[in-house]
Amino acid sequence: MTISRRSLLRTGGSLVGAAALNTSIFGGAFAETPKKGGTLKVASGGSSTGDSLDPTTYAGNYPMTLGYMWGRPLFRVDGNMELVPDAAEGHDVTPDAKTWIVKIRQGLEFPNGKSFTASDAVWTINRHRQEGMASGLQSNLSQIESMEATSPTEVTFKLKAANADWLYVLTDYHLLMQPEGAPTDEGLGLGPYTIEAYEPGNRALLKRNPRYWRDDVAHYETIEFYAINDASARTSALQTGEIDLALQVPSKIARLLEMAGFSIHQRPAAAFSEIVAQVDNDPFTNKDLVLALKYGLNRQDLMDKVFFGVGDIGNDHPIPSFFRYHAADLPQTAYDPDKAKYHFDKAGISGDVPALAMAPMLFYTSGLEVAELYQQQLKAAGINLAIDRVPDNGYWANVWNQRPFFAGGWFGRPTEDQMLTSAYHSEAVYNGSHYKDPMLDQLLLDARSELDEDKRRQLYFDAQEMVNQNAGTIIPYFTALLSATSSNVAGFQISPVGDGSFVDDVYQVS
């Protein structure tokens, strides 16, 4: 069963697999009966030779997808963005939503033969809480007052303040359960596959985990997972039969692939791309300059010319339209070259704007096209933008969140609190724009602690408004996730948060 947000404050139940709702943008259907065996050859972008199997380091699409093949968190979200237990089997919670008891699923084993216990869960989570650990979860996990294994099958969390959505934090793709004290970069997890070989930036070979607790999922015997950052090379590999499944297919070639006989799968997602100015680095400390850059972007033009209308226009905050507390009444930041010029002139910037660092893989493999179109749009406001074309390899480690003006992207998170806290809390490791406001920190604390729905909705609206008006992030659109499969693949399901849980359902058609 799924656990709705309303039922989170009641005792949780056991897991029954839930299929995600996926559609082809041009039509299509899936076969019905899963077949066991065979090898799935799949390719993704977002990889680097510096990638690791250590989940605390995950940033790009490739490691996140790979992680869900060999590992699993305590809970995950299904295709309807509802909570389902995974390495856990249920929960209890006190009426004030401050004490949560997570019940560990019994009978699970790691590939090294060690039984999974509550101590492993505590150890895994504590790694992300360690001082100096560059984990994107630290700001979310700072809610924990105390955490302990109160029995071999129970973990008790005591939170500093109420949070009705606490279990959603435990779905994060960084929190893959690992055996206590074991190496963290060898892929020892509770997923349906085990790592047989791994070459960062190239490929991973996986085999079905004989210890996995479910027999009704993970139908392929082996998976060959290739790292192909170039979108054209990735789709060419699909067309020539070198792979069976291409992730992150650009919308501009999706129809061509379908016309050639491939199935195109689309799903609205919480994932988004962004252009980020660090507001504590000159010249972006000047708010008028940031406003000029926001008004100088024609989002609809970008959506039409680069993404062919596939996706949703963003409004410079990270909450998509299908979330329950989305600020639908917040005025849309619209393209206005006159306003952009006004604010740019008011900023008094001498010379050109610092170069925008952009890699081809960004903006759903259309990074350079986006940068060049944005460059043209800004010219209408008299703003000259230089583009620093940065290679894909090493981007997440060496450029993202480190340059004063850069592009990036997020997979999205399943709740407003988790997304806003991960990206905009003053202590968040992934706070790329360096927007730090104690008032926003307190607002997020108040919102997650508020159990009245109407009051909570208003608090999250206020948080989105603060980010929209004050942060240095420009969020032009929310991605519609697109993937393509060959005719010998069925059952493919895209996760709304873009993880690798599709391996549960996909199977070979003879």
Q: 222's torsion region: left (phi>0), alpha (psi -120 to 50) or beta? A: beta
Backbone angles phi, psi at 203, to 5 degrees: -165, 165
Confidence class for position 15, pLDDT limits 50, 70, 90: very low
**280, 37 contact by CB (below 8 A):** no
Mean pLDDT across the stretch 304-309? 91
Mean pLDDT across the stretch 79-105? 94
Cα–Cα dist 243/246, whole Å: 7
Quick one: 120 exposed, middle or buried, by C-beta within 10 A (0-12, 13-18, 19+)? buried
Residues of the chain with CATH 3.40.190.10: 33-71+191-262+486-509
| Bridge partners (DSSP) listed for residue 198 | 204
Q: How far apart are the first and last CA of the chain?
A: 32
Mean pLDDT across the stretch 361-367? 87
Mean pLDDT across the stretch 319-345? 95
**317, 444 contact by CB (below 8 A):** no
Predicted local distance difference test score (pLDDT) of residue 267: 86
Predicted local distance difference test score (pLDDT) of residue 345: 95
Confidence class for position 3, pLDDT limits 50, 70, 90: low
The three-state (H, E, C) secondary structure of 285-313, written as one string: CCHHHHHHHHHCCCHHHHHHHHCCCCCEE
The CATH architecture that domain 269-479 belongs to is Roll (3.10)
CATH of 72-182, one of 3.30.450.20, 3.40.50.720, 3.10.129.10, 3.90.76.10: 3.90.76.10
Confidence class for position 79, pLDDT limits 50, 70, 90: confident
261-301, pLDDT tens digit by residue?
999 999 888 889 999 999 999 999 999 999 999 999 999 99
Predicted local distance difference test score (pLDDT) of residue 264: 94
pTM of the predicted protein model: 0.83
Predicted local distance difference test score (pLDDT) of residue 20: 31
Pairing mode, strands 405-410 and 263-277: antiparallel
260-269, pLDDT tens digit by residue?
999 999 988 8
**162, 98 contact by CB (below 8 A):** yes
CATH class of 33-71+191-262+486-509: alpha beta
Taking all residues of the chain, what is their mean pLDDT, rounded to a whole number? Answer: 90
Residues of the chain with CATH 3.10.105.10: 269-479
Mean pLDDT across the stretch 446-462? 94
Predicted local distance difference test score (pLDDT) of residue 41: 98
- List of long-range contacts for 235-243, beta carbons under 8 Å, 24+ apart: 235/484, 237/43, 238/43, 238/262, 238/484, 238/486, 241/486, 242/41, 243/41, 243/42, 243/43
Mean pLDDT across the stretch 198-209? 97
Predicted local distance difference test score (pLDDT) of residue 510: 74
Residues of the chain with CATH 3.90.76.10: 72-182
Cα–Cα dist 159/162, whole Å: 7
126-183, pLDDT tens digit by residue?
999 988 777 778 888 999 999 999 999 999 999 999 999 999 999 999 999 999 999 9
Mean pLDDT across the stretch 355-368? 91
471-492, pLDDT tens digit by residue?
999 999 998 889 999 999 999 9
pLDDT at 59 over 50: yes
Predicted local distance difference test score (pLDDT) of residue 8: 56
Mean pLDDT across the stretch 305-319? 93
23-47, pLDDT tens digit by residue?
333 333 344 679 899 999 999 998 9
